[in-house]
Structure 1
Amino acid sequence: MKKFNILFSFLLGLVLTYAQQTPAPIQTEAFTIEGATAHLGNGKVIENSLLMFADGKLSFVGDARTRIARQGKVIQASGMHVYPGFIAPGKSLGLVEINAVRASDDQDELGGMIPHVRSIIAYNAESQVVESLRPNGVLLSQITPKGGRISGTSSIVQLDAWNWEDALVKEDDGVHLNWPNSFRRGRWWLGEPRGFQPNKQYADQVEEVANFMTESAAYGKGPSSIQNPAMEAMQKLFNGSGKLYIYADGEREIIDAVTTAKATGIKEVVLVGGYQAVGVADLLKKHQVPVLVQSTHSLPRSEDHDYDYAYKLPRLLVDAGLLVGLQNASASNFQTRNLPFYAGQVVGQGLDKEVALQLISGNTAKILGIDSNYGTLEVGKSATLFISKGDALDMRGNQLTHAFIDGRLISLESHQTELWKRYEGKYQRQ
């Protein structure tokens, strides 16, 4: 049995590290991209663009007809498109490799209120899942713990690194709270009716969360002889250096969550999910609460909703005047690579294409607090961008030729692209 376990661990190690591409070195040569249609991520488009960057920063973003000396290596991209690197928030990328293999799953910890659990130290930069995102233009992500009432603290990374220290973009950016549900599914195996029914413990669960917030606020206002790591981790929410990400969907839950957080002195709140957020849009605008929409490809949860309610929810929230981003809530991290196509689907629901692009670039950067350096193509910001042969929000057009993170020309190869090329050659020869 011991020999079997050793062999299994060895094989698992091979699976988890196979085909990992060597991270790109620091940019030493300037680059110029000329002739492409540049989608800046802030709603603006430059049809015949000129972008130049050196030392990891954009030095020029403008019209290709501008009389200015081209820098370094010139990439002629006429007929192609340039985009800022897409950002995937609220994902457990690098924390779980194979859901069915417990040894590769480090996305949650024991305990209900554990804001002091930091996801970043468990992040595996050499994950096969992580490298599979880059060929679709997803170049940054918020690495988020899961489970429990307060899951822990997330951090933001770029997706081409040797280790978590190299990957780090913003450390311990926020705490993640799963708000209680006022309704729950009936446990039919215990003889309860099927379907949803009121959660009789909802008031007690809300009080438990509110008390923890209140105690954490009081803990930070005075000296304590006893150090409490959980309450220490909450202090970033009260001094404004971190955000509280609240996962809630119903109107009652959203109202209770936002009002409770604000009443206890939490500075910045982000709503994740927000299935019924349209009905409480005024409250969210009052408290400047942005929304990261989940599960746009899903059936309506209420018979009162349109059949395509989930599909058009991002547009409804944008129309209501809220700051909106997309968070693909699929159980599989591999599906995060489809994030651009979720944004493209919203275009089919009536949202302008450049506004839809902002849902996974400029808007998400603002929500995560990294917009000073990422999310849009502007002079002085990070040269984290990619070139696509066609429309990156359409799976038929999303074909990357180059991708850069902080000016570094990164590999677009992955285990999947290697298999594709291997078998494409096999069957083309037959």
Structure 2
Amino acid sequence: MNTKRYIIVLVLSLSIFANAQQTPAPKQSKSILILNAKAHIGNGQVIENSALAFKDGKITMITDATVIRIDKSAYDITIDASGKEVYPGFIAPNSTLGLVEIDAVKSSDDENEIGQFNPNVRSIVAYNAESKVIETVRPNGVLIAQITPRGGRISGTSSIVQLDAWTWEDAIMKENDGIHLNFPSSYSRGGSRSEPGNIEENKDYKPQINEILTFLANARAYQVDNVKERNLIFESAKGLFDGSQTLFINANEEKQIIDAVQLAKSNGIKKMVIVGGYEAYKTAELLHENNIGVLLKRVHDMPEHDDDDVDLPYKAAKLLTDKGVVVGLENSGSHERMNTRNLPFLAGTCAAYGLDKEQALQLITSNTAKILGIDAQCGTLEIGKDATLFLSAGDALDMRTNKVSHAFIQGRMISLETHQSVLNKRYKEKYHQN
């Protein structure tokens, strides 16, 4: 099918689903009290029978409902959540949500810029807050995302958004939070995924690292020298040296990670995070000593090497956590945007392979918030933080019981309806199903 025909299909699809598009919720105007839910705070603590209140978008109370008297009349709305569980909103880091709508339609794909060194590329200006994909991730509790560019050696700059907004300006929680570096691999493998070939040394590894070193040296010199001619690319890297931005380093191999940490430290990079981190468990002590967090690549995957444990991807979070490394989960890879809805179940798998449930929950709440530098605002159910949270019928890390009934972003009760749920209702009626 050619591009022209795909565009026609896209236009028709958008017209069909037009009435399914949900209007972003208005600012919270009434105080809300949620009673009797099992509260998962997000920091390892659990309150079996909780009282949770929020007003003007902020949490004003979280306590054990059995030890204090609650005056329901003090709140405009009371939700009896008996038998349900309440969680902080899940956070999807290193995501391309809103940057691509249909992969086969070039005009809807804005995740990748030409060129190799692009710290000046701001993903947020390409973010489509009305993407149809975004509304499909919220019913599983994913309410916040780090919108991240792809491609090149330095892909560009990410920003963090809440997932219920009219425009990217409305969505922003933290603008230009970090710059993303794809560290060169020390080896390459031939063949295909189904039939891997031989592993060969990357003969260009040192020259490629030298290119990064040269860029960082020039960018750092630009910040301190009195340069008359403005260089937007070097200027955009300023945050790496003054600590206002994090360097997110995409690296999976042990050698990659060690070399990347040494390179960043030697060039005055204040804050860094490893993204991917398949062999990060081999460098756990180095990461812990330097206070470097890890956003683990999608754990629903096969081992990369013949001599790896078959369950290595599943237990990697446990191996790192035991060494004191702050770990989050990311979901980049094949079909990553639509697979964002499965983020809680990645954490569930980590719980099945060593972590307890509350530790696994932290992988997509408080730990990720800390790694992204937004932990003062969200990630846990604590007084003063954003009321970005949801109610589930059961364990939100289990796909059988993750059934979200209410979701709030900064105190606003958002719609959980999607074009998929609209079609489900439509055809149930057509065929008279219950």
Q: TM-score, normalised by structure 1?
A: 0.95
- Whether 1:28 aligns to 2:29 is yes
What letter corresponds to residue 300 of structure 2 in structure 1? H
After superposition, the Cα gap between the structure-2 partners of 1:206 and 1:17, relative to the gap in structure 1 and judged at 3 Å, is farther
2:366 alignment partner AA: G
Seen in structure 2, the aligned counterparts of structure 1 residues 67 and 162 have a Cα distance that, compared at 3 Å, is: same
The aligned amino acid for 1:377 is L
1:122-141 aligned at under 5 Å gives the runs 122-141=126-145
**Alignment equivalent of 2:259, drawn from 256, 259, 275:** 256
Alignment counterpart, residue 247 of structure 1, candidates 225, 247, 250: 250
Query: Is 1:213–1:261's contact at 8 Å kept on the other side of the alignment?
Result: no
> What is the match of residue 88 of structure 2?
84
Q: 1:339 aligns with which of 324, 338, 343?
A: 343
| Aligned positions of 1:31-430 closer than 5 A | 31-65=32-66, 66-70=68-72, 71-186=75-190, 194-332=197-335, 333-429=337-433
Once residues 224 and 313 of structure 1 are traced to their aligned partners in structure 2, the CA distance between those partners, rounded to angstroms, is: 46
1:151 partner amino acid: S
TM-aligned CA distance change 1:86 to 1:429, over 3 Å: closer
Q: Return the letter of the residue paired with 2:161.
A: V
| Paired residue type of 1:61 | I
Please say if residues 189 and 199 of structure 2, whose CA atoms lie closer than 8 Å, have aligned partners that are also in contact.
yes
Task: Check conservation: 2:299, 2:314, Cα contact below 8 A.
Answer: yes
Cα deviation, 1:42-91, whole Å, max 9, x if unaligned, reads 10000000000000000000011212323220000011000000000000
Unpaired stretches in structure 2, ≥5 consecutive residues: none
**C-alpha displacement at 1:421, in angstroms?**
1.9
**Helix, strand or coil for the counterpart of 1:48?**
strand
State the percentage of identical aligned residues.
54
User: How far did residue 295 of structure 1 move?
Assistant: 2.1
Deviation at 1:391, TM superposition (A): 0.6
Alpha-carbon deviation of 1:206? Answer: 0.6
Assess, with a 3 A threshold, how the Cα gap between structure 1 residues 32 and 124 changes in structure 2: closer, same or farther.
same
Which is worse superposed, 6-15 or 368-377?
6-15
One-letter amino acid of the counterpart of residue 421, structure 2? T
Pair 426,52 (structure 1): closer, same or farther in 2 beyond 3 Å? same
Residues 386 and 5 of structure 1: CA distance in aligned 2, closer, same or farther (over 3 Å): closer
CA distance in 2 between partners of 1:239 and 1:126 (Å):
34
Map Cα deviations across residues 276-310 of structure 1 (whole Å, 9 max, x no partner): 11111111112110000002111111122111111
CA contact (8 A) 1:31 1:54 kept: yes
Provide the TM-score with structure 2 as the length reference: 0.94
Secondary structure, aligned partner of 1:307: coil
Residue 137 of structure 1: how far off its partner (Å): 0.3
Q: What's the offset of the Cα at 1:329?
A: 2.1
In 2, are the aligned partners of 1:19 and 1:128 still within 8 Å (CA)? no
Alignment of 1:2-13 (within 5 A): 10-11=11-12
Amino acid aligned to 1:93:
L
Q: Is the 8 A contact 1:246 1:269 kept in 2?
A: yes
Report the Cα distance in structure 1 between the residues aligned to 2:240 and 2:5, rounded to whole angstroms. 47
- Write the distance in 1 (CA, Å) between the matches of 2:246 and 2:95: 16
Q: CA 1:428 to 1:11, structure 2 compared with 1: closer, same or farther past 3 Å?
A: closer
How many Å apart are 1:17 and its aligned residue?
5.9
The C-alpha deviation readout for 1:231-254, integer Å capped at 9, x for no partner, is 111110110111000000111100
Q: Give the Cα–Cα distance (whole angstroms) in 1 for the partners of residues 6 and 294 of structure 2.
A: 45
**Inter-CA distance 226–378: structure 2 relative to 1 (3 Å threshold):** same
Aligned residues: 426
Note closer, same or farther for the CA distance 1:265–1:16 as it changes in structure 2 (3 Å cut).
Answer: farther
Q: Is the 8 A contact 1:57 1:379 kept in 2?
A: yes
Query: 1:145-195, CA deviations, whole angstroms, 9 ceiling, x for partnerless residues?
Result: 00111000000000000000100000000000000001112379xxxx933
User: What letter matches 1:34 in structure 2?
Assistant: L
The alpha-carbon distance between structure 1 residues 320 and 133, as it changes in their structure 2 partners (threshold 3 A), is same
Report if aligned partners of 1:185, 1:195 keep a CA contact under 8 Å in 2. yes
User: Structure 1 stretch 83-92 or stretch 321-330: which is displaced more?
Assistant: 321-330
Indicate conservation of the 8 Å contact 1:34/1:74, yes or no.
yes
